[in-house]
Structures are given as C-alpha cells and as structure tokens.
Structure 1
Amino acid sequence: MERQDLGTAPDAAAIEAIARATIARLPAQFARHLGDVVLTVDEEADAETLAALGLDHPLDLTGLYHGRPIGDRSVGDFGTLPDRIHLYRQAILAEWCETGVRLDDLVAHVTIHEIGHHFGLSDDDMHALEDSQDDMGTD
C-alpha cells in the first residue's frame, strides 16, 4: 500500500473536535448518559497511569476511562470527581502514522472504546462487538 503524505500533525484541539463530533453523532439514549463526562486530550499518559496499567511506554495507550461505570453506581454516590475520558495525542498520532487509518476513524474508535467502559463494557466485550460487526460486513 502506498503511503500518502500525512501532512502536519493535528494538535490537541483538532483531536478533541473529532472526539466531540463522534459523541454528537451517538444515539440519544447513549448521549444523554455522557453529559457529565469530562473529555480531555493529553499529550501522553503520565508515568503513574502507565505503571498502574502495567505499561512501559506512553505510546502504548491511546485512551483511558477514569470513573465508575454507570451500571455500578448507586444513590449513595455523591461528592466524587466526574468521570473522565482521556485521549492521548502522541499515541494516537503514532498509531495513525503506523497504520494509515484515517485520523477521524481512529479518534472515533478510541473515543467509542472509552465510552464503552463508561457503560461497563470490558475490552473483551468491545472486541466481541467489533468482531460481530466485521462478520456482518459493516464498519
């Protein structure tokens, strides 16, 4: 496959705009549960986060959900920090360059993956859903 010139690396604001557009396209029954979730784009995961996840290199982590999945909450949950989705720009850009996947598709994929954790889905659950979509011939 011939590689195209990828141009200038998008900044954090461009990646955030793609992620927010992805969220805006979600069906209402999902979007209404995301109003309090904070979305941030950081350059890369910090050493503490990487250590907690057993990762050695910041380019190994494109996104992370911090919070309590909505299915695990109770009426006694109050006074806690808002749930957060972190997207890591450098890791996303590295994957973009390495795979040649369109940047908007990659950012949407990472964003949806982290939203899946907000809804209580595990990585295995999400891979199974993606595989079933592939088997159906859809993206």
Structure 2
Amino acid sequence: MIEMDADAFGDLVDDVFDRIPQSVLDELDNVVFLVEDRPADGSLDLLGEYDGLALTERDDYGMVDLPDRIVLYREPLLSIVDDEDALREQVHITLVHEIAHYFGIPEGRLHELGWG
C-alpha cells in the first residue's frame, strides 16, 4: 500500500487518462470520469465502476439523459499497490476495464482478455 493525497492521485489519473488513445475517447458520448475515495459501501474491494447503459443496450439516447459515469476509487487502488509505477499500471487497467463496460464488453470477457 502507498500513501497519496487526493490532489496527487487526481494528477496521476489525469496523466494516465491522457495516454488512452484519442480514437477510443472519441467514441465515448455523454460520459464523465470521476475519482472518489471509496465506493458508497465503504469497502476497499471495488477499484472502479461503470455506471450507465452500455452502447450495446441503448435504443435511443439523447442530450437530456444524465451522463454515464466512470468512477475510480482512490483508496482501494492505493491499497493494492506498492509503488507509483504499479499504481499507474493499475489505474490504466481500471480505466480500460470500465471504458470496455461502456462499449458492452462483459466482465467475463474482460477477464479472458487479461483486463479483469
């Protein structure tokens, strides 16, 4: 486990986010990315979460709909790494994992691909 305050963690997430290919980001519509300390239940078990309706499940989606959310949880992520390099890698994996859920890729398939 490493220690990192919310501001430093946010900067690290921004840096990792900037490395996601622009072609992927261009396909995201009405999605916000957030960092929170922990999930609502207070556990350290969940690293990130996609809260929305996957593209594969949408019929009609318009501008009046609330945005989908991709949330990274700072404390759970910090609790499973030993250094900043490992944290960067885990943040990247978690971002890709949650973005994949937006595109409709299920949990089982992500694990098969090594993104679980």
| TM-score (ref. length: structure 2) | 0.81
Give the number of the structure whose alpha-carbon radius of gyration is greater. 1
Structure 2 partner of 1:62? 47
Provide the residue aligned with 1:91 in structure 2: 76
Residue in structure 2 matched with residue 51 of structure 1 by the alignment: none
- Runs of 4+ off more than 4 Å: none
- Cα–Cα, structure 1 residues 33 and 103, in superposed 2: closer, same or farther, change >3 Å? same
Once the two structures are TM-superposed, the CA of residue 35 in structure 1 deviates from its matched residue by 5.5
Question: Which structure's relative contact order is higher, taking Cα pairs within 8 Å and 6+ residues apart?
Answer: 2
Deviation, 1:23, is 2.9
More helix by share: 1
Pairing partner for 1:33 from 20, 27, 30: 27
Q: Deviations over 1:47-96 (max 9, x none)?
A: 3xxxxxxxxx611111101011123223x323221011111111111111
Report whether the alignment pairs 1:120 with 2:104.
Answer: yes
Q: SS at the partner of 1:46? A: coil
- Give me the whole-angstrom Cα distance separating, in 1, the residues matched to 2:50 and 2:110: 14
Identity, % of aligned pairs?
31
Q: TM-score, normalised by structure 1?
A: 0.69
Could you say what the CA RMSD is over the residues aligned between the two structures, in angstroms?
2.5
CA distance in 2, matches of 1:113, 1:63: 8
Q: CA deviation at 1:100?
A: 8.9
| Cα distance in 2 for residues equivalent to 1:73 and 1:31 | 18
